A and B are shown apart, each in its own frame.
Chain A
Amino acid sequence: MAPLDDKPVLDVRGPGGHPLDIPRLACGAMDDLKSYAAHPKHQEDCGFPGELIDNWQEVAIAKIGELADKNRAFQVYLDACVKCGACTDKCHFFLGTGDPKNMPVARQDLLRSVYRRYYTFAGKHFPWLVGARDLTREVLDEWYNYYHQCSQCRRCSVFCPYGIDTAEISMAAREIMDTVGKGQKYCNEIIAKVKVTGNNLGLNPKALGATLEGLEEDIEDETGVSVRIPLDEKGADILLITPSADFFAEPHIEGLLGYAKVFHEAGVSWTLSSYASEAANFGMFIGSYENMREISLRIRKAAAIDLGVKRIVFGECGHAWRVAYSFLNTLAGPFDFLDQNYPIPQHILEFTHNELEKGTLNIDKSRNDEFRMTYHDSCNVARGSRMGDKPGGQFEIPRAVLRAVCNHYFDMDRDTIKESTVCCGGGGGLLTDELMDLRIKGSSPRMKALQQVTEDHGVTHMAAICAICKTQFSKVMPKFGYEMDSILSVHQLVSNAIILTGQETDEDTAPIEGAATAGAE
């Protein structure tokens, strides 16, 4: 590497090449990519004006000031950036699109330039000197486009010398936009739904119950053992909160079957809740403390009042785990009514890992021999949470579980995993069809890292513990030469490998169905 240039590659957006190759700038490449605007009804359900209000400019500027008073990160990060450029090549969306406004610092500057104009001495008196600008309609539209091209993955914050987290800025920007009536359809529609039905899909309790019964039958057909997936059972010990995708989409469902089998073998009593049938909390994506809190309180109510459980366990979901691990105690605590001998909340992988260590699970690894696995660290788990007692447990525990249930496991390039993991390209409220172009481009660093291990080690499948990652990968993997079912749930592999107590195994032990069936969203 020459000291003065990082040798940008002309066009790295196609397949092949190093996952982290830096593209040349492609100014304006993603200027026109706009996600759909929220319906006025959904805006109002989230507590925001239905449409862009008349005095939006005034209100937005005041909101910047309000956030700077309420959130230290926002205030410090707006001030502290020195434009060193260290983060410029760290965003998968920049790597995939070459659009300079997708460089983390440039993304921050979209808002920082306005903050400077109205809130700093230099920006008020010498705007041209410090790149300050008025908040115009064009600027607002630019915010809308580019703050919805950030998956809030926090990769940039790992590499910034001051820990500046662009996710914080983009959450704040979305909150400011929501406040003036410029919300995004995908996020706000989902938040509106969860407030009414308890989950992002709008599944009602009856439909949910029927689905779960169907799944119980599937397990019984397959294994001959009756494994329960209880719903709304008062007095159960454990409340499982899992992303609603686990109820209906592949490969998510296979993960749910895995949790059920683990709980069954561990001999604990557990239940799902129809009232809080969603782990995801999109309140985080729009930076709305109030919405995030309201959704979190549903979990508290389900646990404390409806069901009276002793423990809360979360299923496989990335940002949900961040909200659960890092924020739940703040938003909906204190949880003094739960059993204090267990982490509150606990991740399903922490639970399974414990059971594996205790030896309660009868595992036949060879049942996963058809898979050569790698593991995708989901951003929010990797950089916004933890598992176990030690820092980094969020990397070690999933790998330990995978190694315990599979014979063939290989890590991807070190610079693309663990705390440096590259996002799937669909997180942070971007998992919507109109952003597909961005999603494919943004996934390219991850896909190239996967291609490397496919070449070097013959890796065929990738496991993940996030509902968004799984859905995103099943959509984008075909663009990179993989089948859509090359993405698996970690608990799907656990499910495959578990031999249930009383399960017939002398006959042909064909790998459990579903592991290889096609995934539909």
Chain B
Amino acid sequence: MSTLYAVLFYLATILLVVGTGLKIRKYAITPAPLKIPTTPAPTTRSGVFWRMAREVTVFESLFKSNKWIWLFGYMFHAALLLVLLRHFRYFTFNVWWWVELIQPFGKYAGFAMVIGLGGLWARRILVERIRYISSPSDHLMLALLIGIGASGLSMKFLSPVDIIAVKVFFLGLLRFQINELPNQINLLVHLALVATLMIIFPISKLLHGPGIFFSPTRNQVDDPREKRHLAPWAAELEK
């Protein structure tokens, strides 16, 4: 079992890193032929930095758009961030001080995460417009995330796992050694789902994470009159 999970995690990590890397590369090398920022847009680079910062830290556009999606979506993402940061404790030998600091919040953030996801799922089912645009994969994605959250919470609050052993397992993976993984069902489910998520990341809508940084309507500076913008393939037309 330990070997199986070790292989699974190596594989998942490779697919995640390589897959996402290739996608990011594609986004980066694909030119934006025209200036299309959604205006009013910042007129300077630093202004764009702040616009993007507001989008990724407080979901500014979503807030303007729909308060309920914002609330559930924000709850989920913020909680996910805390939970992820908290998980650093399983990958560093000495737990970093700031990971220690967020530990108490991180523990409960799992609930916020599941509640946020539940809200999003309820809307997906109950609001006819969102039901209309949903594919099976959209529901499965929510199921997957809720599964990860719930199995994680069960280890914390229902049937605790030997987390020292888990830590030894992952520290071992980092050093290319395979140590014993506790054979406990909620842990195994949790890890299998996480690996699944890592694998599908680069081939699914989870690409919205890197994607937003490459969105021309958000990341372009509004200066077309001052600076000539020209894509390489468009420059060819001028020859």
Which residue numbers of A lie inside 8 Å of B, CB to CB? 1, 3-6, 8, 22, 24-25, 68-73, 75-77, 79-90, 100, 103, 105-106, 109, 120-122, 128-131, 154, 157-165, 168, 289-290, 293, 325-327, 329-330, 333-334, 343-345, 382-386, 389-392, 394-395, 419
Contacts and interface: CB of A to CB of B under 8 A. Distances in A.
A75 B22 CA distance: 13
10 contacts: A3-B71, A76-B216, A80-B215, A85-B129, A90-B65, A122-B137, A157-B38, A159-B65, A383-B38, A391-B42
Given A100-B129, A122-B137, A383-B39, A161 B217 contact: no
Nearest to A345: B225
A158 B73 CA distance: 18
Given A5-B127, A81-B208, A161-B61, A168 B36 contact: yes
Contacts of B135: 83, 129-131
A118 B134 CA distance: 20
A73 B217 contact: yes
Given A386-B39, A386-B222, A161 B205 contact: no
Contacts of B4: none
A129 B122 contact: no
B127 A6 contact: yes
B216 A72 contact: yes
B31 interface: yes
A392 B229 contact: no
B34, B39, B212 pick with most chain A CB within 10 angstroms: B39
Contact of B205 (A83, A89, A391): A83
Contacts of B34: 289, 326-327, 330
B217 A157 contact: yes
A82 B229 CA distance: 30
B67 interface: yes
A163 B218 contact: yes
A258 B129 CA distance: 46
Counting from the closest, the 6 A-B pairs by CB-CB distance are A80-B211, A163-B217, A391-B40, A131-B135, A85-B130, A159-B65
A86 B128 contact: no
Contact of B41 (A3, A81, A391): A391
Nearest to B35: A326
A384 B36 contact: yes
A81 B68 CA distance: 18
A334 B228 contact: yes
Contacts of A79: 23, 205, 207-208, 211
A122 B224 contact: no
A4 B122 contact: yes
A71 B33 contact: yes
B36 A76 contact: no
A385 B214 CA distance: 20
A157, A162, A290, A385 pick with most chain B CB within 10 angstroms: A162
Contact of A72 (B27, B123, B140): B27
Interface string B117-158: 001101110111110111111101000000000000000000
Nearest to A381: B39
Contacts of B23: 79
B35, B38, B67 pick with most chain A CB within 10 angstroms: B38
A157 B136 CA distance: 25
Contacts of B224: 325-327, 329-330
A219 to B, nearest CB: 31
Given A71-B33, A293-B237, A84 B39 contact: no
A165 B217 contact: yes
Contacts of B126: 4-5
B165 interface: no
A90, A333, A390 pick with most chain B CB within 10 angstroms: A333
A87 B27 contact: no
A330 B228 contact: yes
A329 B215 contact: no
A350 to B, nearest CB: 11
Given A73-B215, A120-B203, A130-B135, A391 B222 contact: yes
B36 A83 contact: no
B26 interface: yes
B7 interface: no
A71 B30 contact: yes
Given A81-B205, A128-B136, A70 B31 contact: yes
Interface residues of B, number: 70
B230 interface: yes
Contacts of A383: 38-39
Contacts of B33: 70-71, 289, 330
B204 interface: yes
A73 B138 contact: no
B233 interface: yes
B64 interface: yes
A75 B26 contact: yes
Contacts of A109: 133
Given A70-B33, A81-B208, A391-B39, A163 B129 contact: no
Given A330-B229, A334-B228, A105 B234 contact: no
B218 A386 contact: no
B214 A329 contact: no
Given A70-B233, A293-B237, A122 B204 contact: yes
A89 B129 contact: yes
A26 to B, nearest CB: 11
Given A86-B69, A100-B129, A161-B73, 19 more contacts: A1-B67, A3-B68, A4-B119, A4-B123, A6-B66, A25-B132, A73-B216, A80-B211, A85-B130, A85-B133, A86-B62, A130-B136, A159-B66, A161-B62, A161-B212, A163-B61, A165-B217, A326-B34, A329-B227
A87 B65 contact: yes
Nearest to B211: A80
Given A86-B65, A109-B133, A159-B64, A80 B30 contact: no
Contact of A121 (B40, B68, B203, B215): B203
Contacts of A72: 27, 30-32, 214, 216
B130 A289 contact: no
Nearest to B132: A100
A295 to B, nearest CB: 14
A329 B228 contact: yes
A160 B231 CA distance: 25
B55 interface: yes
B26 A154 contact: no
Contacts of B215: 73, 76-77, 80, 162-164
Interface in B48-101: 55, 59, 61-62, 64-69, 71, 73
B93 to A, nearest CB: 36
Contacts of B208: 79-82, 161-162
Contacts of A89: 66, 129
Given A83-B135, A122-B203, A76 B123 contact: no
B127 A385 contact: no
